[in-house]
Structure 1
Amino acid sequence: MSVSYKIHPAFAADDASLLETDLTSCQLLVLIGKGTFSYVVYNPAAKKFLALKSYHFLPQKTATADLQMIEQIFDADKLLFTNFNLVQLAFDGVNSTLVPEQHYNPSLKKDYLHVIYPEQTQELVLADVLTDQQLVNIYSVDKDVMGFLRKEFSTDKVIHANSGLLKSYRFDNDFLELNGVAYVDIQQHKFSLTIFRFGKLLIQQDVSSQTGLDVVYHLVNILRQTGLDEQLVKVKVGGAVTSDSQIHEELRRFIPKLEWMPRLPGFWYIPKMEEIPGYYFNNLYAMALCV
């Protein structure tokens, strides 16, 4: 028998403008990760984020257990049942691979993924066609989790979180760094690493990690594999990490050109969101670029 308990958000930000806005004209952007369920309410007409909530729970051993946690969030958060104009889902921490658009055949999308990852039981293989970057992001999600969310939200709009990050990095001033720039998005027990050199994507990869030294080791190793020098490349950090964390301390020891990712430009944020470090929810805000 599963144990049920009252679940509360780890982060919550909204203000009176949420009550004053017709939410049926707004969008709900929902990000599901390993042990996380986060969302923002977004007003596309004003290009403004009106509310944010992020729930954290221990990553479960099975997708069924994950689904039980998500169901508890739905029981606790009635805002999720609002009749939004659009709901978009994004998944983080699932198996994925990038394929050049010119070589992509939709009928073979499972084959592209299973060259790298073994086939999972109850998997649904999806693909994001990123025409502006001439790439296709192929990934798998659990059928039961996907079915529950599609039913509750009545939506078929689904992306991989890294597809949004790829779009967001092109708004950063360091995107064209001649010596290269590495974007490190840190989440629970893993990080997404995206490396560009002079605007050209060299690699995007999800890497499992437990400690700060894990992050440093894999970062330096992958930088060297792509022909970049960790002493010269600019490394920009975002995600669920703080300046006094072990991960950040270890990165500072080995990476001379280390910076925080700025909050995604070109949008408005309510004051309570601006009180949260700007790099915290870049993967969530970036979903607004994919609607």
Structure 2
Amino acid sequence: MSVVHQIQPAFTVDDSSLLETDLTTCHLLVLVGAGSFSYVVFEPVENKFLAMKSYRFEPQKAAVAELEMIEQVFDADRLLFTAFRSVLLAFDLSNQTLIPAKFYNSNLKKEYLHLLFPEKMQEAVLTDTIDELEVVNVYGLDKDLVGFLRKEFSTDKVINANTALLRSYVYDRDYQQRDGIVYIEIQQPKVTLTAYAFGRLLCQQEFNFQGGLDIVYYLTNMLRQLNLDEQKAQVKLGGAVTEADALVEELRSFVPQVQWQERLPGFLYIGKMQELPAHYFQNLYALALCV
């Protein structure tokens, strides 16, 4: 007999404006990760985020088990069945690789991905074109999971979560640093490192980690491979971490100039969202750049 888990949101942020708004004019932006399901309600006329909710559960080894947990989120959250203007599905649990647009051949998308990652059963290989960076993001998703969510939300809008992150960094005033800048996005147990110099994307890599020293190693190795000066390159940290976390202390012991990422500019946030640290849920808010 299967075990039924009581799903409760880890974060819930909204106010009366949600009830006062015609949600059929809003976009629902959904982010699915390993052991997580989050969404934000986005009103496009005012460029305003009206509500956010994030569920956390134990990451499941099998895709079918992950799907069962997400089904329980649907059972618990009736807002997901609202007739929104559109629904965007973003996935943060896939293998991916970035290909320069000028070298990309759509007939070879599977080959690009499987050159780095073994082919999986029931895998759908999808792509996102990021025109502003002149790259194509090639990634693989479980067919059953993406098929279930497409059907439940009646949407064909699917992207990789890192596509949104890549676009969001372009809005940071520091991304054109001549000495280079590395953005660190922490979504335990995974960390994503993205490097730019002179406004040009140099590299994006994902790693599993256990502590701050692992991140220090990955960061140092990336900077050296890209020939960026470890003492001059800027580092910005984002994700659901705080100054009190041990991994942040370990990171600062080797990278004293690390800064927190700022809230994505050009958007309005309800008051309760502004009470959260600015670097929280950047990967979720960034989905508004992909609508």
What range describes the TM-score normalised by the shorter chain of this pair? over 0.9
Mapped to 2, the partners of 1:145 and 1:2 lie a distance apart of 19
The farther-off stretch of 8-17 and 221-230 is 221-230
Structure 1 segments of 4 or more deviating over 4 A?
none
Give the counterpart letter for 2:105 in structure 1. Answer: N
Give the counterpart letter for 1:13 in structure 2. Answer: V
Give the counterpart letter for 1:175 in structure 2. Answer: Y
Contact (CA 8 Å) 1:10, 1:54: kept in 2 or not?
A: yes
Give the counterpart letter for 1:71 in structure 2. Answer: E
User: What is the match of residue 288 of structure 2?
Assistant: 288
Deviations 1:84-109 (A, max 9, x none): 00000001131000001111111211
Give the counterpart letter for 2:71 in structure 1. Answer: E
- Does residue 1:201 correspond to 2:190, yes or no? no
| Structure 2 unmatched runs, 5+ | none
Mapped to 2, the partners of 1:219 and 1:240 lie a distance apart of 19
1:1-80 equivalences in 2 (<5 Å): 1-80=1-80
- Does residue 1:190 correspond to 2:190, yes or no? yes
Give the counterpart letter for 1:45 in structure 2. Answer: V
- Displacement of 1:177 after TM fit? 0.8
- Displacement of 1:33 after TM fit? 0.6
Mapped to 2, the partners of 1:80 and 1:62 lie a distance apart of 24
Give the counterpart letter for 2:90 in structure 1. Answer: A
Contact (CA 8 Å) 2:133, 2:201: kept in 1 or not?
A: no
User: What is the match of residue 161 of structure 1?
Assistant: 161
Deviations 1:163-222 (A, max 9, x none): 111111011111111111000000021111100011111101111111111111111111
Q: The residue matched to 1:279 in structure 2 has which SS?
A: coil
**Structure-1-length-normalised TM-score:** 0.98
| Structure 1 unmatched runs, 5+ | none
- Displacement of 1:125 after TM fit? 0.5
Mapped to 2, the partners of 1:81 and 1:62 lie a distance apart of 26
User: What is the match of residue 83 of structure 1?
Assistant: 83
Contact (CA 8 Å) 1:127, 1:137: kept in 2 or not?
A: yes
Mapped to 2, the partners of 1:242 and 1:250 lie a distance apart of 12
Deviations 1:135-163 (A, max 9, x none): 00000111110011001000000111111
User: What is the match of residue 130 of structure 1?
Assistant: 130
Contact (CA 8 Å) 1:212, 1:248: kept in 2 or not?
A: yes
Provide the identity percentage: 59
User: What is the match of residue 231 of structure 1?
Assistant: 231
Mapped to 1, the partners of 2:93 and 2:155 lie a distance apart of 21
Give the counterpart letter for 2:174 in structure 1. Answer: D
Aligned length: 291
User: What is the match of residue 139 of structure 1?
Assistant: 139
Mapped to 1, the partners of 2:242 and 2:58 lie a distance apart of 19
Give the counterpart letter for 2:27 in structure 1. Answer: Q
The farther-off stretch of 196-205 and 19-28 is 196-205
Contact (CA 8 Å) 1:184, 1:235: kept in 2 or not?
A: yes
Deviations 1:219-240 (A, max 9, x none): 1111111111222111000012
Contact (CA 8 Å) 1:168, 1:286: kept in 2 or not?
A: yes
User: What is the match of residue 252 of structure 2?
Assistant: 252
- Does residue 1:97 correspond to 2:101, yes or no? no
Give the counterpart letter for 1:41 in structure 2. Answer: V
Mapped to 2, the partners of 1:116 and 1:107 lie a distance apart of 17
Give the counterpart letter for 2:152 in structure 1. Answer: E
